[in-house]
Amino acid sequence: MVKIDKYNWEAYGNADLEPSVRAILSSQSMQRLKGIQQHGPDVWVWKKLVMTRYDHSLGVFLLLKKLGAPLEEQIAGLLHDAAHCAFSHVVDFVFNVQSSADFHETEAEAFLEKSDLPEILKKYGYSMSRLMHHENFPLLERSLPDLCADRIDYLLRDAFHFDLLDMDQVKFLLSALVVENNEIVFSSKEAALLFGEKYLETNRKIYSSPGAIFYHTMLAEALKIALDKKIISQDDLFTTDDEVKGKLVSSGDQAILERMSLISEKTKLVPADKIDCDYHLKVKIRVVDPKIFLNGKLKRLSEIDGAYEKTLAESKNLQKEGHFIKISA
């Protein structure tokens, strides 16, 4: 029996799952995602953000189903994070690609080709290679500032868990989504504005916050040390959070343990200037500018709302600066 978490159940409701989907969900590769937290080390501090890559992947699948996407695209959505590394995007900090956050994507196909998924997919007539190329699935993935199923699910899920949206608002936003010209857009300015504002707020308070970037940076430094000293291997990164964390802790390495100890609510991050700071925390630029289908035409929110256009520009400028901080534990 497929277990659907509380958020997915409340947001998307019950859904009949095809035999192919059940087989994929039961695979070792998908079950591994239950051991990978969506927000990596942030959950050691922010308990509200405890949710797994499995839950998110299932949510993206359910959203695509709700929007009437073809089954192949639904399955691509289900698998879109199947090759995620332990601690989610921390690995991008390890290999210095956090600006694009794409390490797990570049390594995904090679990792998954050795997994149990190709045989399952072949049985049901699907190509692993095609499913891994997300440009084939425009409802699943699109570049910022557009909407896509992946982006919509993680934003609504995270904002809900962090008390920035309630379930009535989540359902309102989901009800206002429509598909036009093979892309996901909103049917009203009200919904588009709510989503856009909540995306910027959630990005400010979670994804690009000093805390999140600092915690990711500290764990990335610990992982780099562990890789250099062969305490862990790159293969270990494709296991689970607990497995890798166990190896880090049991290593007894002082440099590793010092960095991990800073991932704590006791660590105070104090704003500083660029000359007198301990860290300059750089962030990925994230803004959305949803399209709205009005009077038979598609228009971006910024085109019809000057205040939102100004807010976007201000947000981009702040994100480009990053955070200058001093730490006190």
Position 97 pLDDT exceeds 70: no
pLDDT at 96: 72
Distance CA 267, CA 265 (A): 5
Q: Is residue 35 part of a domain?
A: yes
In this prediction, residues 3-12 reach a mean pLDDT of: 92
Side chain identity at residue 234, one-letter code: Q
Spatial strand order of the sheet with 291-294 comes to 177-180, 183-186, 291-294, 297-300
* Tokens of residue 63, six digits: 């959203």
**Residue 92 pLDDT exceeds 60:** yes
Residue 101: per-residue pLDDT: 47
CA distance 117 to 99: 29
Report the percentage of the chain scoring pLDDT > 70: 96
Instruction: Quote the pTM value.
Output: 0.95
Give domain status of residue 10, yes or no. yes
Does any domain span residue 42? yes
Residue 268 covered by a domain: no
Of 233, 290, 254, the closest CA to residue 85 belongs to 233
If one counts the domains in the chain, the total is 1
Q: Which domain holds residue 307?
A: 6-210+284-328
Annotate 130-169 with DSSP letters as a single string: HHH-GGG-TTT---TTS--HHHHHHHHHHHHHTTSS-HHH
Q: Are 146 and 291 in contact (CB under 8 A)?
A: yes
Q: Among 121-125, 238-242, 324-328, which stretch is predicted with the lowest mean pLDDT? A: 324-328
Residue 18 lies in a domain: yes
What's the CATH code of the domain at 122?
1.10.3210.10
Tokens of 175: 């009800």
